[in-house]
Structure 1
Amino acid sequence: MPRTRTSLTAALPLLVVALAGCATQDGGTADDATGTTSESRTVAEARAWDLENASCLREAGVDIGDPSGDGGGMAISLGDDLDMDALSAAAESCRESTEDKLGERPATASEKESREEFEAALRESTRCLRDKGFDVPDQLDGTGGTDSMDDVPEDVLEECGAFGGMATTVAP
């Protein structure tokens, strides 16, 4: 697997976590006397989760900022000396630690919508690749298919919108 595909594939779960902090839209219906909406509480809870997770990642030696709260997500420094295995291990350990403290990270309405759009795009690119004669695995769960994404030429990946080689198994 070329280095760029390996790096991007390995970084994808981290990018998903980083992008998860992007949603700040408020919606929903007021459900208490203060006028606070369930969605605004979800956004606040998600932000608290992201802050705790970012703090854990920094303690583990990852150069990462706090989520911006303005839709900017979290920035991870991706220098040349980045150890993807260490980064992946830190991300998994911190996710578990943060879940132990705060429970599972709540998804905001806009994150759910973005995830649905992303999953629809993955399904469409898989259909396109299969229509082009490549028996690739389902990109959402990694099942099925006999061809690796490495077997698909770059021009076909691009044509099918397979995210420049990042089309691979995505952990929800």
Structure 2
Amino acid sequence: MSRTRGTLFAALPLLVVALAGCSTAADDAAAETKSESQIAADAQAWDLANANCLREEGVDIGDPSGDGGGVSISRGDAVDMDALLAASERCTEATTDELGERPVTASEKKSQDEFDARLRESAECVREAGYDVTDQLDGAGGTATMDDVPAGVLEECGAFGSMPTTVTR
């Protein structure tokens, strides 16, 4: 298993959370007055602004799909995960400053909850196999070093099988 693949697995939850944004009580109250289609349109505008920022930062990223399918980010060996995470952090902050927190549709919230549950299950399985990994979810972000975990354990625990090939929001 390459270091890049292990690092990608570890960084993906942080990137997903960073791109998805966090909802506050005020955001939830405002969202209740908007239709699901308006929330989706606002989320699409936020995603496009964020993708434009990431491209300006040198990240090879496509436009958001608009159907909740997310965006594609190159996963090749040439990906500098530190640079990707730094650009993601800067762009999330800049886009949030400009447009506010990213709106989250009900279907996205459900998908994120399901994804988080799969990540927790995978991390627990890896821990049960004797490896010390964390699962800092619920908007906290975080990464775990998976370089020391054998590929067989990761596969057995579904650590890669449950990972999407695109970053979804």
With the shorter chain as reference, the TM-score category is: 0.5 to 0.7
1:4 pairs with 2:5 = yes
1:112/1:94 CA distance change after superposition, 3 Å: same
SS of corresponding position for 2:64: coil
Q: Which residue of 1 aligns with 2:110?
A: 113
CA distance in 1, matches of 2:121, 2:75: 30
CA distance in 2, matches of 1:89, 1:96: 11
**What is the aligned length?**
145
Decide whether the 8 Å contact of 1:119 with 1:140 is kept in 2.
Answer: no
State the secondary structure of the residue aligned to 1:136: coil
CA contact (8 A) 1:122 1:140 kept: no
Q: What residue number does 1:140 align with?
A: 136
Change (3 A) 1:153 1:60: closer
Match of 1:56 in 2: 53
Q: Report the CA distance between 1:88 and its aligned residue.
A: 2.1
Displacement after TM superposition at 1:69 (Å)? 1.1
Q: Distance in 2 between matches of 1:122 and 1:11?
A: 10
Q: CA deviation at 1:111?
A: 1.3
Matched residue, 2:156:
159
Percentage of matched positions with identical amino acids: 58
Determine the structure 2 residue equivalent to 1:47.
44
Residues 1:91 and 2:106 are matched in the alignment: no
TM-score (norm 1): 0.66
Aligned-partner residue type, residue 132 of structure 2: V
Say which structure, 1 or 2, has more relative contact order (CA 8 Å, 6+ apart): 2
Match of 1:65 in 2: 62
- Could you list the runs of 5+ residues in structure 2 that have no partner in the other structure? 21-31, 138-143, 164-169
Structure 1: gaps spanning 5 or more residues: 21-30, 142-146, 167-172
Could you say what secondary structure the match of 2:116 adopts? Answer: helix
